[in-house]
Structure formats: C-alpha cells, structure tokens
Amino acid sequence: MTVLPKHVCLGEIQQKLQYSADGPRWPHWARRFARLGRAGFLRRQPLLSLRRFRIRPAPGTASMSLLRDLLGQVSRTVTAYVGDKVLMLAAVSAASNVIVADGEVAGQEFDAALHGLSADPVLMKGYDALMLETELYEGIARARTRLGRAENLRHVGAVAERPANQRENVFLIAADVADQDGISNIEASALGEIAAALQVDGVGLLRANPVRRRPA
C-alpha cells in the first residue's frame, strides 16, 4: 500500500507528473502515481465526498421523535384539563349528602346528581360520566355514616375560597338532587349545611333559580 507524505495534493502531483514523472528528482511513489494516472485509474475529484457522509436517522428515530411529540402534546392537554379534584369532590360530596339525607337512594336523585355534575363547565373538562359516576358511588357510601357525612362536608368546605360561581354551582347541583319531588325538611337541613360550608346564600339561590317542572 502506497502512503502519501503529508501536505501532498493529489491533483497537483498529477499535473506535474505529466512532464517529469520519470525524472530522477521524483521519488518512487510519484512515479507509481504517474503510471496510474496515465492508465486512467486516477480521476480529478475531491478526496472527501460529503455524499459519502450523508447523515441518515437511525432506524426508528423518526417514529420515536413523532411519539415523543405526541406524548408531549397529550401531556400538555392533560395538564390543561387534568381535572379539578377539589371541586369535583365538593360537588360529589354535596350531592351525596342530599341523596342519603332521607335514608334511601332514589334512582331519580342519582340521575339528577350525575346530570348536574356532567353539566358543570369545569368538571366536564376533566371528568367523563363514568369517572363522575364512580366518585358519586363513593360519596354515597361515605354519606351512609355520620363520620362519612362529616367528611363530605369537609370536602364541600374545601372550596369556600373559590370564586362565587363555582361555589354556587356546587350548591345548585345538590339543590337539583333534593328538588325531585319537592324539598323535604330533612333535605332542606342538608342543603343548609352545604350552603354554610360553601358560604353562599342558599335560600337566595333557590329563589333565583326555581326548578322547572314539566306540566303533568
């Protein structure tokens, strides 16, 4: 194998060897390259070609990048609509205390609670109907005991510093549950506790938002 000395340009050697390749002043490696040049084995081209070093993505790199971007977008969406758990627990707990107030769980009350929870503009962004239904079952299970009802009221009171519209929505969800066939005294008592925990005017909200019943 012939090794060129450092700082030797192959094109310059070829050009000069056309006239004196066999002369005594050129070393043996110059004469060899001259013969190769005359035989047509050497061509004037750059020693390094960028095309030979074209950077190609490794197998799977493009798909991994796409997956990473997709996961990032999903993560941002989940972060934006992760669900307001404090507000959700407050609404579920308020509805649960009213549902169990009279000692029995009526199907109409459960449906009214689920409908009200699903219609809330904040909760609907972070929870689907199945998630809300599961949470409602758990809230009802808590409300069957005094300790559980007290825990539910603590969940309700956790939103006492929230904007007025969120607190009022929690109360109105519970009010819709109670007012299926008219609000009984025991249900009115439960609503009074909820209104106190939320720091809202329960009586004023009921007057401002009367229930709309279908004509018989």
| Residue 62 is assigned to a structural domain of this protein | no
pLDDT of residue 186: 92
3-state secondary structure of 27: coil
| Residue 58 is assigned to a structural domain of this protein | no
**Are residues 202 and 102 located together in one domain of the fold?**
yes
Spatial contact of 141 and 174, defined as CB atoms under 8 Å apart? no
pLDDT of residue 80: 43
**Are residues 140 and 35 located together in one domain of the fold?**
no
| Residue 216 is assigned to a structural domain of this protein | no
Q: Which amino acid belongs to residue 106?
A: A
Spatial contact of 160 and 167, defined as CB atoms under 8 Å apart? yes
The pTM (predicted TM-score) of the whole model is 0.61
Helices 85-99 and 185-198: crossing angle in degrees, nearest 10, is: 160
| Residue 144 is assigned to a structural domain of this protein | yes
Chain center to CA of 197: 32
Distance CA 77, CA 193 (A): 36
**Are residues 101 and 170 located together in one domain of the fold?**
yes
| Residue 215 is assigned to a structural domain of this protein | no
**Are residues 98 and 192 located together in one domain of the fold?**
yes
**Are residues 39 and 89 located together in one domain of the fold?**
no
| Residue 52 is assigned to a structural domain of this protein | no
pLDDT of residue 73: 62
pLDDT of residue 60: 56
| Residue 59 is assigned to a structural domain of this protein | no
Distance CA 139, CA 117 (A): 13
For position 116, which CATH number holds? Answer: 1.10.3680
**Are residues 91 and 30 located together in one domain of the fold?**
no
pLDDT (tens, 9 = 90+) of the chain, 216 residues, equals 555 555 555 555 555 545 444 444 555 655 665 565 555 555 554 444 445 545 555 555 556 677 777 666 655 455 445 678 999 999 999 999 999 998 888 788 899 999 999 999 888 888 989 999 999 999 999 999 999 999 999 999 999 999 999 999 999 999 999 888 788 899 999 999 999 999 999 999 998 887 665 544
| Residue 91 is assigned to a structural domain of this protein | yes
Domain that holds residue 193: 85-208
Number of domains present in the structure of the chain: 2
